[in-house]
Amino acid sequence: MKNIIFIAALLIASVFGNDAPSDVVVLTTANFKDNLAKGDWLVEFYAPWCGHCKSLAPIYEQLATSLKGKINVGKVDCTSEETLQEAFGIPGYPSIKFIKGKEVYDFNGDRTKEGFVAFVESGYKSQTPKALPNFEVKAPVAEPENSDVVVMTDANFDELASKGIWFLEFYAPWCGHCKKLAPIYEQLATSLKGSVNVGKIDCTIQTSLARRFGIRSYPTIKFLKDGEIRDYKLERSLEAMTQFSSTGYTSVVETSPMPPKPSAMEDMVEDAKAQLKKVEGFLAQKIWISMGVIFVVGVIVGAVLFGGSRSSKPAQPKTQKQE
């Protein structure tokens, strides 16, 4: 029985352990140019949270294996490789490019294995190519030492928000638009100091606040005055936001009250739901393998149990020799 459990554990580990080796090359700003020298490339620009990207993933893996040695297949995570995203002008996810030498072709065929193969073999010839863009590795932007932007958290938000007027930015550290807004937001905080507070909430950490305000995209900017919330949807410039904070906000008809702070139990339930969704998504990808593992383990256990019962015979009573 111990051997059976060991075998089952190995099978389950093969399913829920590390992913199998992939023929899709992970491309980054650092290795992109060196890899391009290795031949022609089909490159997917994606985001990990994108549903269409997730649907494409297994097809893309099969494609990479089938084209191995002929066409290189790579992927760029645009949430971490902002430089490449900007250089190629990626408008949405997934965006797929065929790079042949110094020329770039936009893939516009069917997202099937056959569609990709047809495009890289001859379909790209019907397009007018674009020149391969130049890009340089950008140095990370350091956080200002003396910032007037207040970092707001689940713990301090309600106390801080009760004190005066606020600009609230809900952001994610990997978001390119948030990074572009950062220096402008710093200027805004300094110029409005003493009249309007300027705060930011990292939604990747302060998940309770993100849920509380129903944040769906980044950056989301809200204006809080006298307990009323207004969505800021104008130009993200110092002048526009400054004008909005003085009189512009009055033109926003739709307002909403400050959403109530959830209880500890409500937070716990929501966190549990979020984790459950992740588990469901994981299991959905592994379901067929999981069923196979369960079947194999069941066959092994059944064979041992029933085989053992058939081979076992009742012990015969010993006979004593008569003297």
What backbone torsions phi and psi does residue 279 show, to the nearest 5 degrees? -65, -40
Catalytic residue among 67, 96, 178, 198: 178
Catalytic residue among 7, 12, 50, 132: 50
Is residue 50 flagged as an active site residue? Answer: yes
Catalytic residue among 59, 175, 294, 300: 175
Is residue 178 flagged as an active site residue? Answer: yes
Catalytic residue among 11, 36, 53, 181: 53
Catalytic residues: 50, 53, 175, 178
